[in-house]
Structure 1
Amino acid sequence: MTSRLIYQDESMEIRVPTELEAPLHFDAIQSSMADISAWESWCSTGYSLEDSRTYLIDSYVKRQRGQEYRFCLFDLASGKIIGSIALNRIVPEYKTANIGYWIRSDFTGRSLAVTAVKAIARFAFNELGMTRLEIVAMEKNHRSCRVAEKSGAVKEGLHRNGLYFHGQPSNAWIYSLIPGDLT
């Protein structure tokens, strides 16, 4: 059984959210719509509370199957969800996965995403036996690239048409983390 809590300090914890926390999830996305939607196709003005509920139910199912591991960052003082981090695109036979993340707009600039990347990488390496994690960021998503770099990930190159965004291919920077990269 894998951990539900992967990080905790005096102000934040990173853990698996439950379906009952859909309103908190929805609130975080609504308050960060402009920032998230600039880089994520799923985030649009039509995003609803039911979408958050469905996401959290789907998260549970995919976790049980070992297909994805999604966590939320919780601010302990307010109880708010202040971000999300996930392992997806898991390829068990190659022990690889992708890391995706977003931080609530009013909590950016605090290195929370860096903390989350390091926490999920430790989880992936120590509990799941992964040997390579990738962070894929659109070419002009400088914030996401900076998070990858500050997390200790190695920039491997620009992949032409590496992502698909709003029906169009987009170049993407590829970063990797392997167990020896974490200090």
Structure 2
Amino acid sequence: MTSRLIFRDEHIEIRVPTELEAPLHFEAIQASVKEISAWESWCDTGYSLEDSRTYLIESYVKRQRGLEYRFCLFDVASGKIIGSIALNRIVQEYKTANIGYWIRSDFTGRSLAVTAVQAISRFAFQELGLTRLEIVALAKNQRSRRVAEKSGAFDEGCHRNRLYYQGTPEDAWVYSLIPGDLPQKLV
């Protein structure tokens, strides 16, 4: 059984959300739809409460099957969902996975994504036995690239046509993390 809580301090908690928290998830996305949709094709103005509910149900099923591990960042003071981080594209044969993340617009600039990347990396290495994680960010997504760099990830360069975004192949920067890359303490 894997941990449902992967980080907690006096400000944030990073844990598996439940289906009952769909309204909180939906509200966080609505508060950030403009910023998230600039980089994520699943997010647009038509995103609904039912989409959040479906996402959380699918998260449970995928976690049970070991296909994906999705967590949300919760603000301890308000209880709001303030972001999300996930391990996806897990390949057990090679002990690899991708990391994806977003932070609610009114909570950016606080190194929350950096903390989340480091927390999910520890979870991946220690609990899942993975040995390589990748962060793949669209070349134009400076903020996401900066998170990867601040997290201690190794810059492997810009890969041509690495992502397919809104019907178009796009260049993307690839960053990798292996167990020795993580700092002793979380940021």
The normalised TM-score by structure 2 is 0.97
Please give the residue correspondences for 1:69-108 in structure 2 after superposition, counting only pairs within 5 Å. Answer: 69-108=69-108
Residue of structure 1 equivalent to 2:17: 17
Residue of structure 1 equivalent to 2:166: 166
Partner secondary structure for residue 60 of structure 2: helix
Structure 1 residue 116: deviation in Å? 0.1
- The reply on whether 1:143 has 2:143 as its aligned counterpart is yes
The normalised TM-score by structure 1 is 1.00
Residue of structure 2 equivalent to 1:117: 117
Structure 1 counterpart of 2:171, which letter? N
Structure 1 residue 26: deviation in Å? 0.2
Give CA deviations for 1:101-132 in whole Å, capped at 9, x if unaligned: 00000000000000000000000000000000
Identity %: 82
* Pairs aligned (count): 183
- The reply on whether 1:54 has 2:54 as its aligned counterpart is yes
- Runs ≥4 residues deviating over 4 A: none
Structure 2 counterpart of 1:62, which letter? K
Residue of structure 1 equivalent to 2:157: 157
Structure 2 counterpart of 1:53, which letter? R
Partner secondary structure for residue 93 of structure 1: coil
Structure 1 counterpart of 2:139, which letter? E
Unaligned ranges ≥5, structure 2: none
Structure 1 residue 11: deviation in Å? 1.0
Residue of structure 1 equivalent to 2:45: 45
Partner secondary structure for residue 44 of structure 1: coil
Structure 2 counterpart of 1:95, which letter? K
Structure 1 residue 8: deviation in Å? 0.1
Partner secondary structure for residue 70 of structure 1: strand
Residue of structure 2 equivalent to 1:8: 8
Question: Following the alignment from structure 2 to structure 1, what is the Cα–Cα distance between the partners of residues 127 and 44?
Answer: 34
Unaligned ranges ≥5, structure 1: none
Question: Following the alignment from structure 1 to structure 2, what is the Cα–Cα distance between the partners of residues 37 and 54?
Answer: 18
Question: Following the alignment from structure 2 to structure 1, what is the Cα–Cα distance between the partners of residues 50 and 88?
Answer: 22
Give CA deviations for 1:76-112 in whole Å, capped at 9, x if unaligned: 1000000000000000000000000000000000000
Structure 2 counterpart of 1:144, which letter? S
Structure 2 counterpart of 1:133, which letter? L
